[in-house]
Amino acid sequence: MPPAANSEQAWLERARTLVLHGDHTGAETAVSLALQKYPRSFELRRILAGIYSLTRREREAETLLARLFTERREDAATAFTLARLLISRCRSAAAAAVMRDHFEHGRYDPELAIKAVELLDDCGRKRDAAVIAEHAIAAAPGDPRLHAYAGMLEMQLGDFERARAHYLYALECAPQACEWHVPLGLASMQRYRDATHPDFTRFRDCLRRGDLGDRARSTVLFALAKAHDDIGDFAHAAGYSRKANALARSLTRWSHRDWQDEVEELLKADPTRQRLEPPLDFVPVFIVGMPRSGTTLVAELLARYPQMCNRGESPWMATLARQIISTGYPDRSTLQRAAGTYAEQMRQDDPQAARWFIDKQPLNFRYVDLMLALFPNARIVHCRRDARDNALSLWMQSFLEDVQGYAYDFSDIAMAMRDCERLMAHWHDAHPDSIRTVRYEQLVTAPQAVMAGLVVWLGLPAADPNPTPVASPTSIGTASLWQARQPVYASSVGRWKNYATHLPELLRFREDEPVGDFDQRPPDGNSM
């Protein structure tokens, strides 16, 4: 029955009520009737697009939203709805174009700009997000939140000078800047030469604040540790790191027992029985191993070759693995859906010439059997590093994700390293032709030789690498964002020796294997 008041607003209210009650068929019928009288109604058509989305008719929803967006590019609700739909359909480049087009035709409202930046950052469109942030700052130069976001993005894109300017503005103008991890960002994108650098005073001033939360205090301590490490003051670097790790460990939700249970289940599980046919035009390259073992460097060097696209640390294999492993033995259709989803997420809509796609999520070493069930043509690059250097690098790094919670405790680091070695040995026995080991020490001392062998093994076409990555985003969002942009250097080999007297826990590690149990009480004389 049509609304008593035969007005556009009455139709709108009825349709919205039906949608809220889950009656999508009734809502669509109401909107269709209303559009017979108000065929140009923008709001009615937008509701219809929403109904299409709710009823999984994404193509119809996209067509209608694109038409509405063409009519009113300044309309934020339409722009964001269309962008989110495009992202859900693995078309992040198109979503970024919509967001940029919207802000060019509308106002750079700080709140909306931040929402757009977060949306594009989450789907890997960091350069587009940075453009929106910069334009928003030009329109509202006094908003420290925009400067903090711009600093984060420019840092990941490698424009460290501009990133530093934004971060300094945020730190000077916003008490919350430490909670936004600005000091850690400042320390991460440069190498300090001496203790007269003003950042040393800035970081200590941050620690004196009485309103600093534990998470922020931990990241400031990590920043100070990194700064002192740069100048060779290893005693203070170790002391600040102890405090930082103690705080970070108290805050993490990472579970020692959950980790152990998962690893034991993976080791005991029978191999996945099904194997899909390898796709002809898609070769995933999984770079795995312990974080801080050279995974970012390998990915960046590989991304310089034609037909190679670096997607960074994708969460998708872990997401799909959790879904599939929980079902026991997956059937073929389950694997096919998972493979299709993963390939779509890797391809997206920007690297037209790419065939090889890099996924450098290090902890994917847990899912090698599944990765090869989905993609028998996949290549697994296992990065290894001297356990003492690797442990030190992990322990001195601030990780904001709970999945890295083991990194705040030498005992947990040793366990994670042992489990990585156990799993990779297990997978190598089952799939020897699909796994190649790259030693960090060999990579940094003879990068051309190591990469030449890796390129041949991957089956890449013969070509010289470009000086910068091709067919891939040029942002780095990992802890190695500064190091990976420098010429390959070997100065980090044997770095653990600088800390042997300050961190005796390192002596319990061996070159290729962590051993022994760990007493986590700080040794006498090392507390700060």
Lookup: tokens for 202: 């800035």
Q: What are residue 289's DSSP bridge partners?
A: 383
Compute the distance between CA of residue 501 and CA of residue 469 in angstroms, rounded to an integer.
Answer: 40
Q: According to the model, what pLDDT value does residue 520 have? A: 46
Residue 224 has pLDDT above 90, yes or no: yes
Least confident interval from 162-171, 229-238, 267-276, 443-452: 267-276
Candidates 263, 526, 520, 268; CA nearest to 408 is 520
Least confident interval from 39-43, 328-332, 390-394: 328-332
Question: When comparing pLDDT for 521 and 501, which is higher?
Answer: 501
Mean of the pLDDT values across residues 91-106? 94
Compute the distance between CA of residue 26 and CA of residue 162 in angstroms, rounded to an integer.
Answer: 53
What does the DSSP 8-state code read for residue 515? -
The share of the chain scoring above pLDDT 90, in percent, equals 82
Mean pLDDT of the residues in the chain: 91
pLDDT band of 511, cuts 50, 70, 90: confident
Question: When comparing pLDDT for 215 and 400, which is higher?
Answer: 215
Compute the distance between CA of residue 359 and CA of residue 364 in angstroms, rounded to an integer.
Answer: 9
**For 208-255, where are the alpha helices, taking DSSP H only?**
214-230, 234-251
Mean of the pLDDT values across residues 449-457? 95
pLDDT band of 468, cuts 50, 70, 90: low
Lookup: tokens for 528: 């700060």
Give per-residue pLDDT as tens, 369-389: 999 999 999 999 999 999 999
Between the two ends of the chain, the Cα-to-Cα distance in Å is 76
Q: Which helix (H) or strand (E) holds 435?
A: strand 435-439
What does the DSSP 8-state code read for residue 45? H
Compute the distance between CA of residue 249 and CA of residue 80 in angstroms, rounded to an integer.
Answer: 38
Mean of the pLDDT values across residues 293-303? 94
Compute the distance between CA of residue 278 and CA of residue 285 in angstroms, rounded to an integer.
Answer: 13
Give per-residue pLDDT as tens, 346-364: 999 987 789 999 999 999 9
In contact, 346 and 300? CB cutoff 8 Å:
no
What does the DSSP 8-state code read for residue 272? P
Residue 472 has pLDDT above 70, yes or no: no
Beta-carbon contacts of 311 under 8 Å, excluding residues fewer than 6 positions away, are 124, 345, 346, 357, 358, 359, 472, 473
What is the CB neighbour count within 10 angstroms for residue 438? Answer: 22
What superfamily would CATH give domain 258-508?
Answer: P-loop containing nucleotide triphosphate hydrolases (3.40.50.300)
Compute the distance between CA of residue 272 and CA of residue 72 in angstroms, rounded to an integer.
Answer: 51
Give per-residue pLDDT as tens, 381-432: 999 999 999 999 999 999 988 999 999 999 999 999 999 999 999 999 999 9
Length of the chain in residues, anyone?
528
Residue 344 has pLDDT above 60, yes or no: yes
Q: According to the model, what pLDDT value does residue 476 have? A: 61
Give per-residue pLDDT as tens, 53-64: 999 999 999 999
CA atoms within 13 A on the CB side of 420: 26
In contact, 79 and 73? CB cutoff 8 Å:
yes
Q: According to the model, what pLDDT value does residue 459 have? A: 94
At 298, which amino acid appears?
Answer: V
Mean of the pLDDT values across residues 250-254? 95
Map out the domains of the chain as residue ranges.
258-508
By CB atoms closer than 10 A (0-12, 13-18, 19+), residue 420 is buried
With b for 16 or more beta-carbon neighbours within 10 A and e for fewer, the 388-416 pattern comes to bbbbbbbbbbbbeeebbbbbbbbbbbbbb
Compute the distance between CA of residue 429 and CA of residue 88 in angstroms, rounded to an integer.
Answer: 38
Compute the distance between CA of residue 190 and CA of residue 207 in angstroms, rounded to an integer.
Answer: 21
Beta-carbon contacts of 298 under 8 Å, excluding residues fewer than 6 positions away, are 287, 360, 381, 383, 438, 443, 454
Grouping H, G, I as helix, E, B as strand and the rest as coil, residue 141 is coil
In contact, 297 and 486? CB cutoff 8 Å:
no
Q: According to the model, what pLDDT value does residue 416 have? A: 96
Q: According to the model, what pLDDT value does residue 64 have? A: 97
In contact, 494 and 389? CB cutoff 8 Å:
yes
In contact, 509 and 401? CB cutoff 8 Å:
no
In contact, 185 and 151? CB cutoff 8 Å:
yes
Grouping H, G, I as helix, E, B as strand and the rest as coil, residue 450 is helix
Q: What are residue 276's DSSP bridge partners?
A: none
Beta-carbon contacts of 152 under 8 Å, excluding residues fewer than 6 positions away, are 163, 185
With b for 16 or more beta-carbon neighbours within 10 A and e for fewer, the 475-491 pattern comes to bbbbbbbbbbeeebeee
Residue located via tokens 């600040």: 240
